[in-house]
Amino acid sequence: MITTATTALWFLPAVIPISLYVAYSDLSKMIIPNKAVYALVAAFAVLGLLALPFPDYLWRWSHLVVVLVIGIAMNAARLLGAGDAKFSAAAAPFIALGDWTIVLSLFTVFVLVSVIGHRIAKATPLRNLAPDWKSWSQGKRFPMGLPLAATLTGYLVLAVIRG
C-alpha cells in the first residue's frame, strides 16, 4: 500500500464526517450535496499540502480531473448520478494511483454489503427506523454515496492499520 499511516491520519479527521454526511444524505434524500463535495476538495487542498510531498500533492490533483471526466461520461450514459461522479472525483486525490487495485477491491465489497444491507433493511422492520428515507422507494436505483463514502474511509483506515 502506497498511502502511509501518517498520510491517512492527516486525512481521516476531515474524511470521516464528510463521508458520514454523504452516506446519510444519499440514503435519506438520494442526493450528494455539492457542499460535501466542496468540503472534500477543500480538505484535500489544505491537508494534502501537510500530508504529502509537494510533487505527489500536485500529481494527485490530476486524479480529480481524470475521475471527473470519466464520471461525467458515465453520468451522461446514465450509469451513475451526477453527485456520485462529483464525489468520486473529489475523493480521487486522497488515493494513491498505485493503490487502485486495493480501492477497487474495497469498493466491490462495500457495494455488495451496502446493496444487500439496504435491501434487507428495506424489507424488514428496520425500515421503520428511518421511514421517510427516499432510498426506500427508488426501485432499482441505489444510493451509491454509501459505498463510495465507505470505500474512501475504509481505504484510509486500511492505510492506518497496515502502518
Domain count, the chain: 1
Number of C-beta neighbours around residue 33 at 10 A: 17
Whole-prediction pTM: 0.95
Identity of residue 55:
P
- 130-to-10, 27, 34, 122, 125 alpha-carbon distances in Å: 33, 10, 23, 10, 10
Q: Which tens digits make up the pLDDT trace of 44-101? A: 999 999 999 999 999 999 999 999 999 999 999 999 999 999 999 999 999 999 999 9
- The residue ranges of DSSP E strands in 27-161, in sequence order, are none
Q: What pLDDT was estimated at residue 29?
A: 97
* Residue ranges making up the domain that contains 139: 5-162
The one-character DSSP state at 48 is: H
Phi and psi of 131, rounded to 5°?
-65, -20
CA angle 114, 75, 156 (to 5 degrees): 45
Gyration radius from the chain CA atoms = 16
